[in-house]
Structure formats: structure tokens, C-alpha cells
């Protein structure tokens, strides 16, 4: 029996779901091993009977929390899909400001009090609300990795998710280290799996897949400061995609 898969999106750009479409011809192979029963961005049909729930986006409001809990109660396996779901993503940048200030900056003096659509709390990742079984990381996710995880689950296997730094993948590609060009990179402490896509384009890693399980952040901070960043700037480098975790000052 093919496992039934459903996609759900919360606060996000939906760019991770787009990566599924971007598998191009391989999508046709994937739908040979799983049944997609809900994928609002691409199909009209919807069913509440599913085995695997794939959650994109971060959680912003009580109404979204309730929806997520209902999805969890129906799913055997729940996957956090992309940086917003896994670690808060860029959405969490607003957590550094008080909610009222954030609302005022965007909606001005409009009357949005007592309106549930606008009833936001500080951004949460999916695992701050419900239990997450697997994480597919990145902003956006790597579509090859997505296909691998889904294939493993369809075969009843446990998918392997990397827990080594970007530097490992970057070295394999024989890239010149971007530090040598005077740029800044989180490669030494950031989780791999993307194939070091940013350093390969001569940009420093911004850590969209989050930190390693046991990162040496103190030494990374030292390296960043050695390359001319102030402590404030170095810390801000760490929080583009996971503000809630922050880094100890």
C-alpha cells in the first residue's frame, strides 16, 4: 500500500513546495511510490486521511496552532519542511521586536484589534507546537534531499540527515574558501546537506539549515571577529534564519 502524503503551508513563501514541483520529471516517479492526497498549491482535491504530513512555514497565530495540532493528530509521521518550519526562518527576525511595534510598522493605525487574522504571537518553529518526526532543512529545501527522504519513508526506512558542517561539502567541491576573499561564512558551524550552494557561488553560508547539533560557536565568533566583523555584526550573522535560538553574547 502506498503511503498517503499531504502538504500543508503556514507562514512562508511556499518556495519549498515549489521545489517539489521543481523536481520536474522526477515528480512523476515520486507519485508512483506515494499517493499525494493534499497539495493545495497544485491540486484541487483534498483528503484528511493521510499517513505523512509535510509542514511548510512557521507558526504565527493561535488559529494556526490549532490547525497544526489537528494535522498532527491525523498524521502517523510529521515532517518539518524548510527553514521556516524547522527553525523559524527569516520570519523569526521579527521576534527581536515587541509585537505591537511590529504591527504598527506594517499596518500603521489601522484597526486590527480583536481580529483573529492579525492576532500574532512571536514566531514559532513547528516543534515548538507539536512533535516533529523528521526535518528537511534549508531555505529553500534541497529537492534531491526531499526525494531521498520521501523514498526512504515509503520503503519503511529511517532517512539520513547530515550532521556535519558545510565546510565538508565545500572542500569536496574544491572551492576556494570564501574567507580567503575577505567574505564571511558560517560554513564551519552550519549543517550541511545543500552541497555548499552559497560558497560555491562565492557567497558566505548564511546558515539556513541551522547549526550542527554541537557547534563550536565560540570559535566561529572568534573567526568572524578576526575577519573584521564587530561582535554585533557577527552575532547578527548567526540569526538570519533562527532568531529564537540566538547566540549567547
Partner 1 sequence: MSQDLKIDLEHITRIEGHGSIVLDAKNGKVVSAQWRVPEAPRFFEAMVVGRSYNELPHITSRICGICSISHTLTSLKAVENAMGVDISDQTLLLRKLAHHAETIQSHILHVGYLIAPDLFGVGSVFPLVNTHKDAVVKIVKLHRLGNEMSDLLCGRTTHPVSMAVGGFTKIPTEKELTEVKARLQGAVKPANEVIGIVLANAGKLPGFTRETEYIGLTSDEEYALYDGVIGSTDTGRHKLEDYLSITNEFVVPHSTAKWTKHNRDSYMVGALARYNLNSRKLTPLAKEVAGKFGLKAPCFNPFMNNVAQLVEFAYVLEDSIQIIDELLDDGLKEEKVEVKVKAGRGIGAIEAPRGVLFHDYTIDERGKCVKANCIIPTNQNHGNIQKDIEALAPTLLDKSKSEIELNLEMLVRAYDPCVSCSTHYLKVKFV
Interface positions with partner 1 (CB under 8 A): 9-19, 21-22, 24-25, 28, 31, 36, 39-46, 57, 60-61, 64, 89-91, 93-94, 96-97, 101-103, 105-108, 110-112, 115, 117-118, 120, 139-140, 197-198, 200-203, 206, 233, 236, 240
Which CB, 124 or 191, lies closer to partner 1? 124
DSSP string, 97-143: S-HHHHHHHHHTT---TT-GGG---S-B-GGGTS--SEEE-BTTB-H
Cβ distance to partner 1 smaller for residue 120 or 161: 120
Shortest Å, Cβ 183 to partner 1: 8
Nearer to partner 1, 20 or 212 (CB): 20
Q: Which of 28, 213 has the CB closer to partner 1?
A: 28
Query: In whole angstroms, how close is the CB of 160 to partner 1 at the nearest point?
Result: 23
Give the nearer residue to partner 1 in terms of CB position, either 183 or 216.
183
CB 196 within 8 A of CB 166: yes
Sheet of 134-136, strands arranged across: 35-38, 4-9, 52-56, 77-81, 134-136
Nearest-approach distance from CB 22 to partner 1, in angstroms: 6
Phi–psi pair at 49, nearest 5 degrees: -100, 100
Q: Locate 114 and state its grid cell.
A: 480583536
d(CA 145, CA 139): 13
Pick the closer one to partner 1 by CB: 12 or 125: 12
- 84: nearest Cα among 10, 146, 30, 20: 10
Shortest Cβ 233–partner 1 spacing (Å) = 7
Helical packing angle, 143-154 and 25-33, nearest 10°: 20
Residue 188 CA to its chain's centroid (Å): 19
Residue 112: count other Cβ atoms within 10 Å of its Cβ.
Answer: 14
Q: Min. distance of Cβ 157 from partner 1 in angstroms?
A: 25
Taking the complex as a whole, the smallest distance from the CB of residue 116 to partner 1 amounts, in Å, to 9
Amino acid at each position: 500500500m502506498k503511503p498517503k502524503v499531504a502538504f500543508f503551508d503556514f507562514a512562508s513563501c511556499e518556495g519549498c513546495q515549489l521545489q517539489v514541483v521543481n523536481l520536474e520529471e522526477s515528480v512523476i516517479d515520486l507519485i508512483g511510490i506515494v499517493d499525494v492526497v493534499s497539495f493545495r498549491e497544485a491540486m484541487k482535491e483534498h483528503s484528511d486521511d493521510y499517513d505523512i504530513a509535510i509542514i511548510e512555514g512557521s507558526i504565527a497565530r493561535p488559529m494556526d496552532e490549532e490547525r497544526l495540532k489537528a494535522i498532527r493528530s491525523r498524521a502517523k509521521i510529521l515532517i518539518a519542511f524548510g527553514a521556516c518550519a524547522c527553525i523559524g526562518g527569516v520570519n523569526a527576525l521579527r521576534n527581536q521586536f515587541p509585537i505591537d511595534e511590529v504591527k504598527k510598522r506594517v499596518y500603521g493605525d489601522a484597526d486590527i484589534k480583536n481580529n483573529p487574522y492579525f492576532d500574532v504571537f512571536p514566531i514559532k518553529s513547528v516543534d515548538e507546537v507539536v512533535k516533529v518526526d523528521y526535518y528537511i532543512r534549508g531555505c529553500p529545501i534541497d529537492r534531491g534531499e526531499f526525494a531521498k527522504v520521501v523514498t526512504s519513508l515509503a520503503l519503511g526506512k529511517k532517512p539520513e540527515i547530515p550532521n556535519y558542517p558545510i565546510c565538508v561539502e565545500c572542500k569536496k567541491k574544491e572551492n576556494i574558501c570564501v574567507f580567503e576573499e575577505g567574505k564571511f561564512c558560517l560554513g564551519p558551524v552550519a549543517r550541511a546537506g545543500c552541497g555548499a550552494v552559497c560558497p560555491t557561488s562565492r557567497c558566505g553560508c548564511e546558515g539556513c539549515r541551522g547549526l550542527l547539533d554541537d557547534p563550536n560557536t565560540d570559535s566561529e565568533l572568534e573567526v568572524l571577529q578576526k575577519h573584521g566583523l564587530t561582535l554585533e555584526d557577527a552575532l547578527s550573522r548567526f540569526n538570519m534564519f533562527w532568531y529564537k535560538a540566538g547566540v549567547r553574547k
